[in-house]
Structure 1
Amino acid sequence: MSAPTRTVRDATFDVLRRHGLTTIFANPGSTEVAFLTDLPDDVDFVLALHEGSVVGIATGWATAMDRPALVNLHTTAGLGNAVGALATARVNRVPLVVIVGQQDRRHLALQPFLAGDLEGLAGRYPVWVTTPARPQDVPGAVARAWHEARDGRGPALVIVPSDDWAAPADDTPVPAPVVLHRASAVEPAAVDALAGLLVGAVSPALVVGADADDPATWAALVALAERLQCPVWQESFAARAGFPQDHPQFAGHLPAGRGRLRQALAGHDVVLVVGAPVFRQYPFEPGPLVEDGTTVALVTDDVEDAHHSPVDLAVVAGPAPVCRLLAERVPQRPPATTRSERPAPPLPPQEGEPLRAAHVMAALAERLRPETVVVEETPSSRPDLHRLLPARRPLGFLSAAMGGLGFAMPAAIGVRMARPDGPVVAVVGDGSSLYGIQSLWSAAHYGCGVLFVVLANGRYAVMDRLAEQHGGGKAPWPAFEEVSVHGLALALGCPARRVDTYDDLVEALDAVVPTLADRREPLLLEVAVTPELTFQP
C-alpha cells in the first residue's frame, strides 16, 4: 500500500510549525474550509465574530508576544472587513502573517461567486502581498511572509485559492525560520554627531515614541535623561509608551497642534527624538513645528520615519544601543532646578456632582498594579487617561496609532491570551466599543480575564466637541443614549454590569482589580459619565 500523498496543506503546516505560527486567528468562510477543517492537534484555532476583531486580537497577541501572529481571512468580504484593522497593525508596526482565501484556481478566469480582486484591496497597508504562481509555491510564500512581516513590521498577505491545499506538494526549498546574523553595530560617526549636539546643547529635551517601548530602550533612555537632567516628552498619538511616565523627568504628552507644540518645546536648543516620527499632528495649523534655533535629531529603526521626518539629523539604528552609548558619552549635568509635577487627581465627586471620566481614571490609577497593560480607545477622555494613569512598565500602555476605532477591545483580548497571568484593562468609550463589541464573545469563550471599562456618555463626544470648535453650527448626528453596552455584552456571553455612581464604581473596582492577574472570566463595567465640555488633542 503506497503512502498518502503529501499535500500543499501538509507542507504549509510544517512551515507554520517551524516559524511558531501554530495559533490561527480567524472567522471562517467557505474558501478556507479545506485549510481549516481537521486541524492538526498542535494547532489552535481562535474564533472572533468579525474580521476586525480577528485582526485586533491577533495584533494584541503579536504585540505582547513580540513575534508574528497568524491570521486567516475570507476572500473579498473578510479582507475588506479587516482593512481598517490591518491599517492599525501597520501603523502600530505589528507583524502579522495573513492567509487570505480565494476561489478555486481552476475557474478563476470565469470570475465565479466569491472570487475576489484581492491583491490591491488593502491598499499599501500590507508590507507584502503575493498570490503564489503554483499551489506548490504556497509553503514558500507563507515562509517568506513571516520574514516580510517581521522585518517590515506589519501585515504580510498570502492569497491562496481553495483548491491549492489539496494539491500534491513538491520539494521546493522554503526560507529558513531564523536569520542567523543581522547587523546590530551602531555607526560611530552617527553617535559622534548626536553626542556633539547633546554636549553642546544649553537646554536639551528628549521626545520618545512607541518604538522605544522595550525594557532595554527604557533603561537606556532613563540613563540618558538623568545624565542630561532634561525633560522627556511622549510623542502625540503614540501606540505605546517610550519612557516610564511616573519618572520625575517625564514632562507629559506633546500636543498635536503646531502652536502648542512650539510652546511646549520653546527654549530647548536641541530636541532628540527617539523611536517616534517628527512630529505627529492632528488638526492642520500653519507655521513651523519648532522655533527658530531649535535643532531636531532623530534616532529610529524605521526607515520610513526617517524619510518623512523633517529633522536636521536622522540616525537609522536601534534606539537602545544608540541611547546607551550616548548616556556613556555625555557629561553629567547638575540637577534641574525645576521638575515636572504630575497634576493632582480630582477629588471624588460630591453628592449631586456628575461622574466624570477623570474620576474613573483616578480610581483606576489608585488600584492598578504597575505591570497592568492598559489598552486605550476613548478619544474624548484620552487627555485624562494620559494625565492620571501613567505607564509604569514597558507595554504598560497600548493604543491604536492609526486612530481608527475598534482596536482596544480585541487587542486587550489578544494581549491577555499571550500573557494569561498578566492583568489587562481596556478603557474604551461607548461609541468606540460598538466597533469591536463582537470580540466580547471571544473573551468569554476563551476565558480571557480582561476588565473592560466602558465610559458611557451616549454620544460621540469628541465629534461633538470638534464640531463646536469648527464653528460650523450644530452637528447633524444624534446621541445614542438608548444603547446598552452592558446589555450587548451580556447577550454575547460576557459578564457585565452598569455603574451609575462613584460609590458603585469604587465597589466594583475594589472587587475585581485584585483578581485581574488570576481571573479567567472577563468583566465589562459600563460606567455612566457626563460628556466632557472641552477637548484639546
Structure 2
Amino acid sequence: MTTVRDATLEVLRRYGVDRIFGNPGSTEVAFLADLPDDLTFVLALHEGSVVGMATGYALATDRPAVVNLHTTAGLGNAVGALATARVNRAPLVVLVGQQDRRHLAAEPFLAGRLDRLADPYPVWVEQPVLAQDVPAAVRRAWHEAALRRGPALVVVPMDDWSAEVDPFLGRAAPERVQVPAPAPGPALDEVARLVDAASAPVLVVGAGADDPATWDALVALAERIGAPVWQEAFGARAGFPQDHPRFAGHLPAARSRLRAVLDGHDLALVVGTAALRQYVYEPGPLLPAGLTVAVVSADPDEVHRSEAELAVLTDPAVFCAALTARVALRDRPAPPRPAPDPVPPPAPGEPLRATHVFAALARRLPADVVLVEETPSTRPDLHRMLPARQPRGFVSAAMGGLGFGLPAAAGLRLGDPTRPVVAILGDGSSLYAVQGLWSAARYGCGVLYVVLTNGRYAVMDRLTERYGGKPPWPAFEEVDLHGLARSFGCPARRVRTHPELLDVLDEVVPTLAGRTEPLLLDIAVTPETHFTP
C-alpha cells in the first residue's frame, strides 16, 4: 500500500528537495524515522536557527526550502524567524507536527491550536481535513511559497503519515503551476507619463528588487532618466548596486530626515518595497509637499499599504525594463560620489572600533561576497563602508528580530557554496542563535563570522539615553563568544588589536571561496556612543 508519508516524500522528490531543516519532536517521528537516503535531515538546535538556516538556503537557491517544526512549542519558537522569512521574501514549505487526529478534540498533551499561531506571517496555512489530502496540501504549499515568496505551512497530525492513500481520489492540487509572463499593461502608460512629466524624479528600491534582472532594469532606468537611487530604510536585501554612481545611499527611517532627503524631488518611483518604511514615530507629514509617489511591486501587501498615488502589482524587472524603453532620455551626468572618509588605524593603546573592522574588510572582501548583517548599533557605518556590489550581496533581518543572521549565513553558504559568506554580528545578536554554530560546523558551512564584542546591547543603551534615562539592564562582558563557539565545535579566534585583525583577515579572506568549515572571530570593540536610525 502507499501511505501518506510515501506520497508526500514522492511530492518532495519531484520538486528536487534533497534536505529538510528541522529540530525533531515526537509528533513528527512517524514522518522522520528512516528517511530515505536521498533526503538529508539538517539539524539545528533551536527552531529560530532552523528557520533562519532554511531562509538563507532558500535565498541562495531561489527555491523553497522544506522545514519541519514540532507542534506548538516548535512553531511558537519559530514565529519571529517566520516573520523575517516573510519580509526577506524567502519561500519555505513548513511541515508542522500535530497530535494524533483520533483524539485531537480532547486536546491531549502536545496538541496545539496551530492554524493561526504564526499569523499573519505565513502566506498560506492548511491543516488538511483528511489524511488523504496531505500530499496535495504539500504540493499547494510549494506553489504558494514559490509564487508568493514566503513561508507556507501545512499542519499534519501524527497519525496521518501512516494512513493509506486512496489511488482513486483526485490530486486536489496541480503538479505544476505555470505563471504567464507579466505584461506591464495600461499602468505602463500612466507611470511613463509621470516619469516624463517629472522635473526631478528619484528611485527608491527594496528587497523585492534583489535579483539580477531587476538590478539590470533599474540601472538602465536610472541612467536613462538621470535619477538618484536610494535604498529603503532597514531593508532586508539590496535592490541596486551600491557602488554605482547613481546610488545615493540609504533612506533615513525618521520622517523629518526622510522629508529633507526627498525635498526637491517631484516623483518617487518606489520599486520592490512599500512606500515608505519608518522606525521611531515622528509627528508631521511623511513626505515633502509636491512629491508624487508610485509603487511597483510583486507583493500585494506592499502595494496595499503604501502611501502612494499609484501602485502597480507586477514583476518589477519586466515593468522597469519596459518603462526604460518608453521614457525620454535625459542628459544628466551622475554627481560625483564622495569616497568614504578614511579610517585611520587606532593609536597605540586605543581600542578597536567597528569602523576599523569595516575598513579592513572593505579593502579585502571580493565583489561577490554575501554580507549578512546583524549589528544594529553600527549598521549605518556598515552600509557606508561595505556596499553591496552584486545581487544577494547584502542580507539582513529586516523584521528587526535578532537571531536571524547567524543561522541564515550558514544556510546561504549551504545553498550556494560558490559565493563567500561573511556575517557581521553584534555579540548580543549572536547570543539569540549561538547554537546555530553547531549546525554550521556540522554541515561544513564555510562562513566567516565577524562578531563585534562590546559586552552589551549598545543600541538599546543609546536609545534609553535618548529618552533621558539609564538602562536598567546590566552589561554581559563576562560572556565568552570565543569559548561558546568552540563548545559548539566551531573554530574561533580572539582578536584584540588592530595588527591581529589585519593578520587574521589577510590569512582568512583569501580562503573564503573554498572554506568548508566556519570560523568565528571574536573581536573586542569599544561601544558606540551614538545611534541614528
Please give the range of the TM-score, normalised by the shorter of the 2 chains.
Answer: over 0.9
Partner of 2:245: 248
Question: Amino acid of the residue matched to residue 520 of structure 2?
Answer: L
State how 1:305-316 maps to structure 2 within 5 Å.
Answer: 305-316=302-313
State how 1:498-517 maps to structure 2 within 5 Å.
Answer: 498-517=494-513
Partner of 2:189: 192
State how 1:415-434 maps to structure 2 within 5 Å.
Answer: 415-434=412-431
Q: In structure 1, what is the Cα distance between the partners aligned to 2:178 and 2:416?
A: 28
1:531 to 521, 527, 530: 527
2:214 to 217, 220, 227: 217
Partner of 1:232: 229
Question: Conserved in 2, the CA contact under 8 Å of 1:489 and 1:495?
Answer: yes
State how 1:342-353 maps to structure 2 within 5 Å.
Answer: 342-353=339-350
Q: CA deviation at 1:324?
A: 1.1
Secondary structure at the counterpart of residue 462 of structure 1: helix
Q: Which runs of 5+ in 1 are unaligned?
A: none
State how 1:282-321 maps to structure 2 within 5 Å.
Answer: 282-321=279-318
Secondary structure at the counterpart of residue 315 of structure 1: strand
Partner of 1:367: 364
Question: Amino acid of the residue matched to residue 177 of structure 2?
Answer: V
Q: CA deviation at 1:334?
A: 2.1
Q: In structure 2, what is the Cα distance between the partners aligned to 1:271 and 1:127?
A: 28
- CA deviation map 1:39-79 (0-9, x unaligned): 11111110001010000000000011111110001111111
Secondary structure at the counterpart of residue 516 of structure 1: helix
Q: TM-score, normalised by structure 2?
A: 0.98
1:7 to 3, 20, 31: 3
Q: CA deviation at 1:442?
A: 0.5
Question: Conserved in 1, the CA contact under 8 Å of 2:273 and 2:297?
Answer: yes
Q: In structure 2, what is the Cα distance between the partners aligned to 1:273 and 1:281?
A: 15
- CA deviation map 1:439-459 (0-9, x unaligned): 000010111100000001100
Partner of 1:86: 82
Secondary structure at the counterpart of residue 513 of structure 2: coil
1:124 to 99, 120, 140: 120
Secondary structure at the counterpart of residue 517 of structure 1: helix
Question: Conserved in 2, the CA contact under 8 Å of 1:230 and 1:336?
Answer: no
Secondary structure at the counterpart of residue 327 of structure 1: helix
Q: Once structures 1 and 2 are overlaid, which stretch shifts more, 158-167 or 375-384?
A: 158-167
Question: Conserved in 2, the CA contact under 8 Å of 1:140 and 1:173?
Answer: no
Q: Which runs of 5+ in 2 are unaligned?
A: none
State how 1:53-72 maps to structure 2 within 5 Å.
Answer: 53-72=49-68
Secondary structure at the counterpart of residue 304 of structure 1: helix
Question: Conserved in 2, the CA contact under 8 Å of 1:75 and 1:100?
Answer: yes
State how 1:103-142 maps to structure 2 within 5 Å.
Answer: 103-142=99-138
Q: CA deviation at 1:366?
A: 0.7
Question: Amino acid of the residue matched to residue 71 of structure 1?
Answer: V
State how 1:244-283 maps to structure 2 within 5 Å.
Answer: 244-283=241-280
Q: Does 1:396 align with 2:387?
A: no
Q: Once structures 1 and 2 are overlaid, which stretch shifts more, 237-246 or 333-342?
A: 333-342
Question: Conserved in 1, the CA contact under 8 Å of 2:226 and 2:334?
Answer: no
Secondary structure at the counterpart of residue 321 of structure 2: helix
Secondary structure at the counterpart of residue 367 of structure 1: coil
Q: Once structures 1 and 2 are overlaid, which stretch shifts more, 325-334 or 67-76?
A: 325-334
Q: CA deviation at 1:337?
A: 6.8
Q: In structure 2, what is the Cα distance between the partners aligned to 1:380 and 1:347?
A: 21
Question: Amino acid of the residue matched to residue 303 of structure 1?
Answer: P
- CA deviation map 1:64-100 (0-9, x unaligned): 1111110001111111111110111112121111111
Q: CA deviation at 1:352?
A: 2.3
Secondary structure at the counterpart of residue 424 of structure 2: strand
Percent identity over the alignment is 66
Q: In structure 1, what is the Cα distance between the partners aligned to 2:204 and 2:376?
A: 22
Question: Conserved in 2, the CA contact under 8 Å of 1:249 and 1:339?
Answer: no
Q: CA deviation at 1:503?
A: 0.8
Q: 1:109 to 1:181 in 2, by over 3 A?
A: closer
Partner of 2:156: 160
Q: In structure 2, what is the Cα distance between the partners aligned to 1:18 and 1:337?
A: 49
Partner of 2:319: 322
For this pair of structures, how many residues does the alignment match?
A: 531
Secondary structure at the counterpart of residue 24 of structure 2: coil
Q: In structure 2, what is the Cα distance between the partners aligned to 1:358 and 1:13?
A: 49
Q: In structure 2, what is the Cα distance between the partners aligned to 1:321 and 1:158?
A: 32
- CA deviation map 1:460-485 (0-9, x unaligned): 000000011122x1110110000011
Q: In structure 2, what is the Cα distance between the partners aligned to 1:531 and 1:9?
A: 52
Question: Conserved in 2, the CA contact under 8 Å of 1:374 and 1:397?
Answer: yes
Question: Amino acid of the residue matched to residue 85 of structure 1?
Answer: A
Q: Does 1:460 align with 2:467?
A: no
Q: In structure 2, what is the Cα distance between the partners aligned to 1:250 and 1:353?
A: 34
- CA deviation map 1:385-415 (0-9, x unaligned): 1000000000000011101001001000000
Partner of 1:47: 43
Q: In structure 1, what is the Cα distance between the partners aligned to 2:345 and 2:460?
A: 27
Secondary structure at the counterpart of residue 321 of structure 1: helix
State how 1:430-441 maps to structure 2 within 5 Å.
Answer: 430-441=427-438
Question: Amino acid of the residue matched to residue 497 of structure 2?
Answer: T
Q: In structure 2, what is the Cα distance between the partners aligned to 1:94 and 1:517?
A: 24
Question: Amino acid of the residue matched to residue 375 of structure 1?
Answer: V
Q: CA deviation at 1:340?
A: 3.4
Q: TM-score, normalised by structure 1?
A: 0.97
Q: In structure 2, what is the Cα distance between the partners aligned to 1:121 and 1:364?
A: 41
Question: Amino acid of the residue matched to residue 19 of structure 2?
Answer: T
Partner of 1:383: 380
Q: In structure 2, what is the Cα distance between the partners aligned to 1:181 and 1:247?
A: 33
Q: CA deviation at 1:183?
A: 4.6
- CA deviation map 1:167-226 (0-9, x unaligned): 111123332342234351111x21111111111211111111110111111111111111
Q: CA deviation at 1:151?
A: 2.2
Question: Conserved in 2, the CA contact under 8 Å of 1:278 and 1:309?
Answer: yes
Question: Conserved in 2, the CA contact under 8 Å of 1:248 and 1:341?
Answer: no
Q: In structure 1, what is the Cα distance between the partners aligned to 2:195 and 2:140?
A: 41
Q: In structure 2, what is the Cα distance between the partners aligned to 1:248 and 1:520?
A: 36
Q: In structure 2, what is the Cα distance between the partners aligned to 1:62 and 1:320?
A: 20
1:178 to 176, 179, 190: 176
Q: In structure 2, what is the Cα distance between the partners aligned to 1:65 and 1:40?
A: 22
Partner of 2:165: 169
Question: Conserved in 1, the CA contact under 8 Å of 2:245 and 2:335?
Answer: no
Q: In structure 1, what is the Cα distance between the partners aligned to 2:334 and 2:176?
A: 50
Q: In structure 2, what is the Cα distance between the partners aligned to 1:204 and 1:536?
A: 26
Question: Conserved in 1, the CA contact under 8 Å of 2:21 and 2:43?
Answer: yes
Q: In structure 2, what is the Cα distance between the partners aligned to 1:399 and 1:263?
A: 26
Question: Amino acid of the residue matched to residue 225 of structure 1?
Answer: A
1:358 to 352, 355, 359: 355
Secondary structure at the counterpart of residue 514 of structure 2: coil
